[in-house]
A = this chain, B = another copy of it.
Amino acid sequence: MSAQTYTVAVVGATGAVGEQMIKTLEERNFPVGELKPLASARSAGTTVRFRGQEIVVQEATPEAFEGVDIALFSAGGGVSKELAPEAAKRGAVVVDNSSAFRMEPDVPLVVPEVNPEEIKKHKGIIANPNCSTIQMVVALKPLYDRYGIERIIVSTYQAVSGSGAKAMAELEAQTRAYMNGDDMPLNVMPVAKLDKHYPIAFNVIPQCDVAQENGYTFEEMKMVNETRKIFGDETIGVSATCVRVPVLSGHSESVYVELKSDYDLDEVRELLQNAPGVIVQDDIFQQIYPMPANVAGRTEVFVGRIRRDLTNPRGLNLWVVADNLLKGAATNAVQIAEKWISFKA
């Protein structure tokens, strides 16, 4: 290990993912020399805890990035669009968790288990994929390499933490209201900025982001487009149905994947067992399968219900679960920064 340390800015330091990024930097013993927690003017002056110290949050301005080596952004697309180029201009490498730059041709979109080499092509900004995409491609990577992938049909069971701390608070408040027979507060789900808000407590909502012209939601199209970009393969077919469920944290996915060649089910299981970042929990006879309740705080992607599809001999069904705030966001972002360091070394 090099003794070199880095000045690391975390933009959106007081949000659900930003907080987790700071925790992840500490837990993974990232070589942070100085931590600069940044946020909106409203949150500036509050403190975050890092390595036993309280550090004052500063306002995220262009000038705040002077001297920053690595900037982890998780403050929404608007902030990223405005400030990520400013950070890059001042010499920082940006790892951006928003969707602002993901599909830009000259911005690498990286999952370290899948396409780490892309990091080398960055021009100042590296994009962190969408949470539901990350866990799926980590699970599919060994199958892509061995058999090729014709197409994917995925239905998600997404936790509210994907919509931030306010959504988590709303699920808890709605649950409490429901149990007390009171009216539920309806302000955040499914999409805070849209007109209509529905209960998520004791409900499921088949909308995780705004609608796109083709009738799919933006969340669904992220899974389509990001999967292709990460694998560097525009021929992969992807269709997604993204659904919010009353789970606080941990995304689950029912994944149908049609491989390009015939496969052996035992080999598939072995490939998954040996895949980096994947943990197989797969024995329905012993009631062993991944569940969001069991993945909180875990950085790996969990795969179970591995079985041959009944409608196509090259079809395979998987159940994929991960902590969306960790592997789906903070952990993947810090892993990108770690890889970047290792390539420099």
Q: Which residues of A pack against B, CB within 8 Å?
A: 151-153, 155, 157, 172, 175-176, 179, 190, 194-196, 198-199, 202-207, 211, 214-217, 224, 237-239, 241, 243, 245-248, 252, 254, 256, 284-287, 289-293, 304-312, 315, 317, 319
Copy number of this protein in the oligomer? 2
- Determine which of B245, B284, B315 lies in contact with A246 in the assembled complex, contact meaning CB atoms within 8 Å: B245
A211 to B194, CA, bound (A): 42
CB–CB B206/A292 < 8 A: no
- In the bound complex, do residue B207 and residue A284 qualify as a contact, i.e. CB atoms below 8 Å apart? yes
B304 touches A206 (CB 8 A): yes
User: In whole angstroms, how far apart are the Cα atoms of A249 and B185 in the complex?
Assistant: 21
Instruction: Contact check, A239 vs B287: say whether CB atoms are below 8 A apart.
Output: no
A146 to chain B, nearest CB (A): 20
Residues on B with C-beta less than 8 A from A247 are: 202-204, 246
Known interface pairs A153-B309, A311-B239; A206-B246 also in contact (CB < 8 Å): no
B179 pairs with A224, CB closer than 8 A: no
Residues of B within 8 A of A317 (CB): 239, 241
Could you tell me the distance between the alpha carbons of A299 and B286 in the complex, rounded to whole angstroms?
37
Within the assembled complex, what's the spacing in Å between the Cα atoms of A258 and B266? 28
Determine if B238 and A292 form an interchain contact, defined as CB atoms under 8 angstroms apart: no
Closest to A157 in B: B204
The residue in chain B whose Cβ has the minimal distance to the Cβ of A195 is B287
Most B-side CB within 10 Å, residue of A207, A214, A252, A254:
A254
- Asked if residues B151 and A243 are in contact (CB atoms below 8 Å), the reply is no
8 contacts between A and B (CB under 8 A): A151-B311, A157-B157, A207-B284, A214-B308, A215-B305, A215-B307, A239-B256, A241-B317
- Closest residue of B by beta carbon distance from A240: B310
Q: Determine the distance from Cα of A295 to Cα of B305 in the docked complex, in whole angstroms.
A: 30
